[in-house]
Amino acid sequence: MLSILREIAEAAGLETLKFYGQPLTVDAKADNSPLTQADLASHRLITSRLRATFPDIPVVSEEDQERDDAIAKASRFFLVDPVDGTKEFIKQTGSFTVNIGLIESGKPVAGIVHVPVSGVTYGADHDGGAWRAERDSAPVAIQCVPARKTLRIVASRDHAGPEVKALLARFPNAECLSIGSSLKFCLVAEGAADIYLRDVPTMEWDTAAAQAIVEFAGGAVLNHPSQAPLMYGKLEYRNGSLLTIGDTVLLGRLHN
């Protein structure tokens, strides 16, 4: 399945690039987040191909006009973010991704995060573990690393709340890495960062694919501050504050 999901995500990425750097019509959704032609083109390609290829697995996409919340009660379903980091797309930073995650019994069991501008794809499942692939290349295994003495903390360019600011104040010598979209999770998964704290709410399609990659790389994505594993199929597909770590030793350092 994962090779098929990679093909679909990369094809959707090509769709987004048709609009990248071009004059855009940017609409505002009900939550005031931006929506572009690229979001919709990617959404249409991914959902149509998933439903044709896996007709027995329901699909939930961020851009569904009428999202069926009953799907969240299914034992198995896809979560899709056609363009994660639409603000990055609009600003042309390149830090936007196409995300496809598979949920089974509330847990992410497979995920693809594709970066259209660079052509890099991250993936993970039970069979192959976590990996990173350059454009048209074979996957190379990735894994989280032991916590550094001087931490590398990754934070969102657009979504840094008070807990993130407090974390940075607690570790003033830490290196702060700023990047958009699901790439924040991927930095932890491939050992380039130690911690990603998100204290502004997200939706399940923002995190599903990337969580699979982090966990199969040996890290953890936890509810914050409870430290309970992040699960899926919640009411309205909404997440609370999240803590992503590459080394669970960090839990002690964060609370001492």
Model confidence at 45: pLDDT above 90? yes
CB-side neighbour CA atoms (13 Å) of 89 = 31
Same-domain pairing of 120 and 204: no
Judge whether 147 lies within some domain.
no
- Neighbour tally for 164: CB within 10 Å: 21
Q: pLDDT at residue 220 above 60?
A: yes
Q: 219 lies in a domain? A: yes
Instruction: Look up residue 146 and give its two tokens.
Output: 């032991």
Statement to judge: residues 195 and 230 lie in one domain: yes
Same-domain check for residues 181 and 80: no
**pLDDT band for position 247 (50/70/90)?**
very high
Residue 10 lies in a domain: yes
Say what percent of the chain tops pLDDT 90: 72
Query: pLDDT-derived band of residue 157, with 50, 70 and 90 as boundaries?
Result: low
**Are 125 and 233 in a shared domain?**
no
Query: What is the residue range of 221's domain?
Result: 152-255
pLDDT at 72: 80
Rounded Cα distance between 190 and 122, Å, is 9
| Whether 19 and 104 share a structural domain | yes
Task: Tell me the C-alpha distance between 53 and 192, whole Å.
Answer: 35
Point out the domain boundary residue: 141, 160, 194.
Answer: 141
Q: Residue 39: how many CB atoms within 10 A of its CB? A: 26
Judged against a pLDDT cut of 70, whether residue 98 lies above it is answered with yes
Q: Say which CATH number the domain at 118 has.
A: 3.30.540.10
Same domain, 93 and 11: yes
Place 159 in a pLDDT band, splitting at 50, 70 and 90: low
Residue with tokens 């997200």: 202
State whether 184 and 63 are in the same domain: no
Strand, coil or helix: 187: helix
Residue list, annotated binding site for substrate: 62, 83-86, 206
Does residue 183 lie within any of the structural domains? yes
Query: Residue 47 falls within a domain, yes or no?
Result: yes
Q: Which residues contact 112 (CB under 8 A, 6 or more apart)?
A: 2, 5, 6, 8, 9, 98, 99, 100, 101, 121, 122, 123, 209
Q: How many domains does the chain have?
A: 2
Residue 48 has phi, psi (to 5 degrees) of -65, -40
Q: Which pair of tokens denotes residue 25?
A: 């019509």
Distance CA 138, CA 159 (A): 34
Binding-site residues from annotation: 62, 81, 83-86, 206
Average the pLDDT over 26-47 and give the result: 88
Q: What pTM does this model have? A: 0.94
Q: What is the pLDDT of residue 101?
A: 98
Give the residue ranges of the annotated binding site for Mg(2+).
62, 81, 83-84, 206
Report how far residue 164's alpha carbon sits from residue 120's, in angstroms, rounded to the nearest whole number. 28
